[in-house]
Structure 1
C-alpha cells in the first residue's frame, strides 16, 4: 500500500491560492517546495479526488491527498539525525538557527540540518504545526543564520517574503587579493536570471600568500545559486577557501570556505514584529581580523 497523507483545507481562506504555494509544509513526506513541485509533476497529489497540477487553485474546503509509491519512499530517513544546533530565536511560528559549516541544509542525505531540527526546536502549539523546515538554503561550507518555518502557514508566508524580496540578508566573507573598490555593486546573469550583490570592504590585512585578505560585508539583492561566490570571483577577489570558484594555487585547504550569513531582518508575518537578528562571526574570521 502506498504511503498516503490527507489534508482538509479550512473553509475560511481569504483568497484563492495555487496549490504549489498552499501545499508547502502540509505533508510530512514532502516538506519542501521543490519536493511538492516534483510530487505534482508525478501526479502523486489529488484535490477532491482529481489529479492536481501546478495550475490547481485552492479556494477552501478541499480534501488534498498525497500518495507516494512505497518503493520511492524507502530512501526517506526513518529516524532523526541527532545533532545539536544553536537556536538563535524561536516562537510558535518560526525559528532562526545557526547553521554550522560542513553540513547540508536539506536534501536526500540523512545528515542534514532539516533532519536535526525536530529535536532542537520546541513543537508549535498551533493547529497547522508541521515538521520544521528551512525556508532558504546555505551552501555546505557556509555558516550562519538559517530561517525555519514551524507551521504550514508560516512556511508559506516566509517563502512569500523571500519571493517578494522582503527579507534583508547580510553576509560576511573573507576575500583574497587587493580589491580595486572599497564598495560597489556586482550585477550579472546567473542561470539566465538577473542577480545583484552590493558589497563594502570593512577591513584589509596584508598576507604573504594572498597579498591581501579582506573582510567584506555583502548585501545580496537576489538569491541565485552560489551568487556571492560567483560575484566575488568575477571581480578577481574570490572567497578564501572556495575550491570551486577560487584561483588555482591560491585555495586555502582544510579550513572551509570563509562565508558567513550574518544577519536577517524582516517583518514577522503573523505578529508583525520587526525581527532583526545577528549571528556572530566565527572564530576563524576573528583570528584574521582580531
Structure 2
C-alpha cells in the first residue's frame, strides 16, 4: 500500500533526499530512489528535487515500524552510553570518533545510527536522529524511536525550543568575556542562512580560552565556523583550525581531536522541563589539567 506524506507548512525548502533522510533510515531512502518507488506531486522524482510546504510525496515501497512492549532493556554498544530512555526517546552520550550516520568512508554498522538500529532491531524499533553532532565532537544527542516523535522534536529544535550548550577550547584570548557571533552560514541547499551563537568565557589559559557556548540556531559546523570566523578556531579542529597551533598543542598537551563537547540539552518533555548533562570526557579533561599545570595552577574544571 502506498504511503503519502504532505510537507508541513513549517518546513523550509530542501532536497527531497534530505527531507526523507530525517524521517527514515538512509538505506530505505536510497532503496526508494534506486527502485523508482517515489513520486513527488504525482511525478517520478530524483533525490535532488526541491520539496516545499504543501507538496505531496508518495512512497510505493513498504516501510513498517513494530513495537514489542515485552522486550528486555537494550544494552548500549561500545562507543556511547544511554543516559535516559523511555518509550519515545533516547538521550545518548556519544564518544568522539564515532560518526552519527554512514558516509563515503564510514560503513553504516560503524556509525551511531547503525549501532542503534542493530541494537533495537529485535524489538522492531528503528531509531531516528533528531539532530547531529560531528564525528570528532563528543556529548549529547536526542534520538527518537518513531516517526511521529522525530517530527515533533525536529520542529522544536528548529523553533529554538531546545537549549543546547557546548564546552569548547578556542585558540587565543577573546576580547570580551561574553558575546554573540551573528554571521550567516551555508544552509542545506547551499544558500546563506542566519546563524547565531552565544558564548561566555569559563577560563583563560596562556594561549587558549575555555568557553561555554549556547547555539540559538543549529547550522552544520556552526560552532566551529563561527569561532574560526572570529579568529579563534576550536583547538585541534583539523578543517577550520590552525594547523601549526594544533600540532604544537597536541605535542604539548596530548589532545588528538577537536576540543568540542555537547555538554547540556534541556527541553520541555512530558509536561516538565528536563535537563541532561554529560561530563567532560577523559581526553579533553586531561588537556585542561595539562594547561593548568603548565600555568603553574592547580585549578581544574
TM-score relative to the length of structure 2: 0.70
| Residues in 2 aligned to 1:240 and 1:130: alpha-carbon distance in whole angstroms | 38
What's 1:181 paired with?
Answer: 176
Cα gap change, 1:18/1:200 in structure 2, threshold over 3 Å: closer, same or farther? same
What secondary structure is seen at the aligned counterpart in 2 of 1:181? coil
1:149-188 superposed matches below 5 A: 149-188=144-183
What's 1:261 paired with?
Answer: 262
Higher fraction of helix: 2
Could you tell me whether the CA contact under 8 Å between 1:26 and 1:130 is conserved in 2? no
Deviations 1:92-139 (A, max 9, x none): 001111111111101343210000113556977xxxx64102211111
| Residues in 1 aligned to 2:98 and 2:265: alpha-carbon distance in whole angstroms | 20
Could you tell me whether the CA contact under 8 Å between 2:32 and 2:59 is conserved in 1? no
| Residues in 2 aligned to 1:155 and 1:260: alpha-carbon distance in whole angstroms | 23
Q: Which region of structure 1 is more displaced relative to structure 2, 95-104 or 20-29?
A: 20-29
What secondary structure is seen at the aligned counterpart in 1 of 2:80? coil
Q: RMSD of aligned C-alpha atoms?
A: 3.4
CA shift at 1:223, angstroms? 1.2
1:68-83 superposed matches below 5 A: 83=78
Deviations 1:56-78 (A, max 9, x none): 348xxxx852279xxxxxxxxxx
Higher fraction of strand: 1
Note if 1:88 corresponds to 2:83: yes
Deviations 1:169-188 (A, max 9, x none): 00000112122111111111
Cα gap change, 1:221/1:46 in structure 2, threshold over 3 Å: closer, same or farther? same
| Residues in 2 aligned to 1:104 and 1:188: alpha-carbon distance in whole angstroms | 26
Q: Which runs of 5+ in 1 are unaligned?
A: 1-5, 10-15, 69-80, 207-211
Q: Which runs of 5+ in 2 are unaligned?
A: 9-15, 46-50, 64-75, 187-191, 290-299
Selected match of 1:104 from 99, 102, 123: 99
CA shift at 1:205, angstroms? 2.0
What secondary structure is seen at the aligned counterpart in 1 of 2:151? helix
CA shift at 1:47, angstroms? 9.2
What secondary structure is seen at the aligned counterpart in 2 of 1:249? helix
Cα gap change, 1:95/1:179 in structure 2, threshold over 3 Å: closer, same or farther? same
| Residues in 2 aligned to 1:24 and 1:244: alpha-carbon distance in whole angstroms | 25
Could you tell me whether the CA contact under 8 Å between 2:170 and 2:209 is conserved in 1? yes
1:161-240 superposed matches below 5 A: 161-191=156-186, 192-206=192-206, 212-240=207-235
